[in-house]
């Protein structure tokens, strides 16, 4: 069964800081992993849309957790894509693919001294278990086979290219460093070569 659009609906959005935007939210059938991923289309569509692959983070996106940078990245992506036109793919891959409960278990191990990747490994997981096959399917169905990608993660353009998506340009997101997440960001740079420039320690 090949991927196809299931339904599409207009949803007005408003973020906690007051930013608002209107998204056309599309659902799909036939995705490789069978999960309920969403594509949010913002702004006037262009030949090469700006795309963000955003993995679900309940703690950061909904509750405003300071342990990660997911919430601010989601908010940034919605505004930047609204300005240029493109898609925010909201992917149901909590905790780099290990799920919500296991992510919280990993937090407990981080409190005991492990970094975010070592904590995943201690729980029997890989550093990052996300697979972007479904994301590539979604983009293909939407006709977005050549995109600009908003990300600091080198694995995302690599995987999309593997699945036939042309990446014209990789555009970094802003850096949202705080005392609560700096160790997390440092681990992303060290282990998975995220393009994050962290402020020098004072």
Sheet holding 4-14, edge to edge: 4-14, 20-29, 38-42, 86-91, 50-55, 146-150, 166-171
Look up 115 and say whether it is catalytic: no
Q: Classify residue 61 by its DSSP letter.
A: I
Catalytic annotation, pick one of 61, 115, 128, 148: 128
Which among 85, 69, 77 has a CA at the least distance from the CA of 24?
Answer: 85
Q: Classify residue 18 by its DSSP letter.
A: S
Catalytic annotation, pick one of 80, 96, 130, 148: 130
Q: C-alpha angle with apex 119: 114 to 125, nearest 5 degrees?
A: 160
Residues paired with 28 in a beta bridge: 5
Look up 183 and say whether it is catalytic: no
Give me the active site residues, please.
Answer: 128, 130
């Amino acid at each position: 069964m090949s991927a196809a659009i299931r339904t599409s609906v207009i949803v007005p959005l408003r973020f906690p800081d007051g930013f608002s935007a209107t998204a056309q939210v599309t659902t799909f059938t036939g995705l490789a992993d069978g999960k309920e991923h969403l594509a949010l289309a913002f702004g006037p569509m262009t030949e090469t849309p700006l795309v963000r692959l955003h993995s679900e983070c309940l703690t950061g996106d909904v509750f405003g957790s300071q342990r990660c940078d997911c919430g601010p990245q989601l908010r940034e992506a919605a505004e930047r894509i609204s300005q240029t036109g493109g898609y925010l793919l909201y992917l149901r891959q909590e905790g780099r693919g290990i799920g919500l409960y296991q992510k919280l278990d990993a937090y407990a191990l981080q409190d005991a001294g492990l970094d975010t990747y070592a904590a995943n490994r201690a729980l029997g997981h890989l550093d990052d278990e996300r697979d972007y096959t479904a994301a590539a399917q979604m983009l293909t169905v939407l006709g977005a086979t050549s995109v600009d990608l908003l990300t600091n993660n080198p694995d995302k353009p690599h995987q999309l290219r593997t699945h036939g998506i042309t990446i014209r340009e990789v555009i970094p997101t802003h850096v949202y460093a705080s005392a609560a997440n700096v160790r997390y960001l440092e681990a992303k740079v060290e282990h998975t070569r995220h393009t994050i420039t962290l402020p020098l320690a004072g």
